[in-house]
Amino acid sequence: MNNLPYGGVINWKLPKNKSVHDPSVHHGYRHVVAWGVNMGSHAYYIEMQCAEAKAQNAPVDAIFLGGSEWGPQEERYWRTYATLTESNPALAEEINKYVEVMKDMEERKG
């Protein structure tokens, strides 16, 4: 399908031989994975962000948890793909490419 330069993080093996594109790791939060891959995050960090999104019942199109956990300057909330499409359509398109690659990987695996 797409040939994206994601540097392999989407396939890095986590404990129990899982990858961030595995539904049991991302819990349906593909956009969180796509954002993390695009930003160059490590697989373990992406896994933690997906678990946090699940625990907080984040919107299904969440991309990252914004704000500061160290100060009250900005309230923490989940930024979403929907708002990204409005503020930065080109970046949203890149994120969507990763999401589509993950869907393709899941279909081939399933």
Q: What average pLDDT score do residues 90-102 get? A: 92
Which tens digit of pLDDT belongs to each residue from 13-45? 656 667 787 888 889 999 999 999 888 888 888
Average pLDDT over residues 89-108: 89
Q: How far apart are the first and last CA of the chain?
A: 16
**pTM for the complete prediction?**
0.82
pLDDT at 70 over 70: no
DSSP calls for 24-38: HHHTT-HHHHHHHHH
The larger pLDDT score, comparing residue 99 to residue 69, is at: 99
| Cα separation, 104 vs 110, whole angstroms | 10
68-72, 82-86, 102-106: the lowest-pLDDT one: 68-72
- For 54-64, write each residue's pLDDT tens digit: 999 999 999 99
Whole-number pLDDT of residue 5 = 47
Structural domain boundaries of the chain? 19-109
Average pLDDT of 99-108?
A: 85
